Structure 1
Amino acid sequence: MRTFHNRHHATVIGATATAVLALALTACGGEDTGTKAAGSADSSVSAATSAGSSRSTGSVKTSDAVQNTGTTNAVTMNAVTAKAGGGNASSDSYTYTHPCEMQKLSVHVTRRAGAPTQRVIEVRNVGSKACGLSHYPLVSLGNSQSPDHSHDVRPLIPSGLGGVPAFPVRAGHTAYAVIDLNPSGATTGTVAKIDEMNVLADGDHMPNADTLNFPLGSGAKVLKPKLGLYRNTVADAVRSMTQADTQS
């Protein structure tokens, strides 16, 4: 488990940034954009919208205390080709000793259709070999104007992880995790001034600099959020989320 105190904003990193895209939302909510930094250059992520849901990603900045400026440069990134290596690069066992690298992942957040308080975190392996993720993404919910994450809200997660050491993600495949910001649907007593979600795809192996930021909008209501484990389908990820009972 990692605790992070620096502001870094969302991105998908690849070999070459090729185009600037626009972010669209459906009627289920407001506009989601975000930013992130890696190295000395700003880069960013593609954004797409599907029926009943909205997908967003963003770019990263180099400062350790970056503020959310509200500006997003959305681009598509080329996948980084994995180096040749030993072992069966498509097997589950291979993933247990080969953690995913951020530059070979595409991370998006969508609003789940028919469930306005839920968000789907999609982590796609855009490399040429399988890799392993931690059992769940490291997530916190906070305020975009806060100088650090010390007061962020962290969700409950399912207890009794055990089992295999990593969640396998084959090349070209996507892992899903679902978070419910407000499982009870409460309209009062919610945490004030929560307007962003911070996501680290692999809290066991990735540095804090790979943390991605996804705005939730000023009207987001957050109370006792629940986060599920990575799963191969959204339906399974939802079922995992409902079992969350331990503080992350």
Structure 2
Amino acid sequence: MRTFHNRHHATVVGATATAVLALASTACGGEGIGTKAADSADSSVAAAAAVGSSWSTGSVKTSDAVQNTGTTNAVTVNAGSAKAAGGNANSDSDAYPHPCEMQKLSVHVARRAGAPTQRVIKVRNVGVNTCGLSYYPRVSLGNSKSADHSHDVRPLIPSGLGGAPAYPVRAGHTAYAVIDLNPSGATTGTVPKIDEMNVLADGDHMPNANTLNFPLGTGTKVLKPKLGLYRNTIADAVSSMTQADTQS
């Protein structure tokens, strides 16, 4: 398992991708290449911006019992045409040899309604073909002002991983992963000064430069966090998270 030690902004690359970025009033203004999540209320944040993208205000709808607040950065990508006739562009088996590309994903983080210590990571395939993700996103928790992230907190994950070579995400569909920052609800003994969650959608294939940084807000209590595997519903992602027992 590779360990992420440095914070990076994600960058959308590729001449075939065009993007329209909706900039939240709280986002880092003036950044034309890549974005950093910047909403202390934990609203959803899109994966990345593109070179030459246009800027306007906008918001993301809430769904699946995920609670979002405020406006967000949003990305729309023109991912090109589907496979040639005769190919199967939207089957699970097609995902295995085709890892997801960052410029064809949107990544959002939101509080889970009714569960204040939990966050839902939503990775949507905005391309036209099925692609494959690692079993779970690579996540670390740290301090946004720290220059040394070698001691960032990494969550537990479920043990006994195996099976298909990738988690398939069909075009237009979303993969969900849930992290509980403080499963015990502890108010003392928590890790101090944690205010940021770093998310890499696919830790098996993507470079660290595709890692996104999502603010958690000051005073966030983190202790022995648990992260589940990607699932196609939030309920199943929560169930997976409760089984986390191995250090990521």
TM norm structure 1:
0.81
Aligned length: 229
Residue of structure 1 in register with 2:36 after alignment: none
Q: Distance in 2 between matches of 1:79 and 1:30?
A: 30
- Aligned ranges 1:66-81 → 2 under 5 Å: 74-81=73-80
- Aligned ranges 1:1-248 → 2 under 5 Å: 1-9=1-9, 15-22=18-25, 30-32=40-42, 48=60, 50=62, 53-54=67-68, 74-81=73-80, 84=83, 87-248=87-248
Secondary structure of 2:75 counterpart: strand
**CA 42–145 in structure 1, closer or farther in 2 if over 3 Å, else same:** farther
| Cα deviation, residue 151, structure 1 | 1.0
**CA 52–96 in structure 1, closer or farther in 2 if over 3 Å, else same:** closer
**CA 161–149 in structure 1, closer or farther in 2 if over 3 Å, else same:** same
Q: Distance in 1 between matches of 2:60 and 2:26?
A: 6
**Structure 2: 5+ residue runs without aligned partners?**
28-38
Secondary structure of 2:235 counterpart: helix
Kindly provide the amino acid, as one letter, of the partner of residue 67 in structure 2: S
Kindly provide the amino acid, as one letter, of the partner of residue 220 in structure 2: A
Q: For 1:58-108, what per-residue CA distance to the aligned partner results, in whole angstroms no more than 9, with x for missing partners?
A: 7xxxxxxxxxxxxxxx34333422563574111111101000000000100
Secondary structure of 1:94 counterpart: helix
**Structure 1: 5+ residue runs without aligned partners?**
59-73
Most deviating of 157-166 and 87-96: 87-96
Secondary structure of 1:110 counterpart: strand
Kindly provide the amino acid, as one letter, of the partner of residue 17 in structure 1: V
Q: For 1:159-189, what per-residue CA distance to the aligned partner results, in whole angstroms no more than 9, with x for missing partners?
A: 0011101011000000000000000000000
TM norm structure 2:
0.81
**CA 166–36 in structure 1, closer or farther in 2 if over 3 Å, else same:** closer
Q: For 1:190-243, what per-residue CA distance to the aligned partner results, in whole angstroms no more than 9, with x for missing partners?
A: 000000000000000001000011000002100000000000000000000000
Q: Distance in 2 between matches of 1:121 and 1:57?
A: 17
Q: Distance in 1 between matches of 2:189 and 2:54?
A: 38
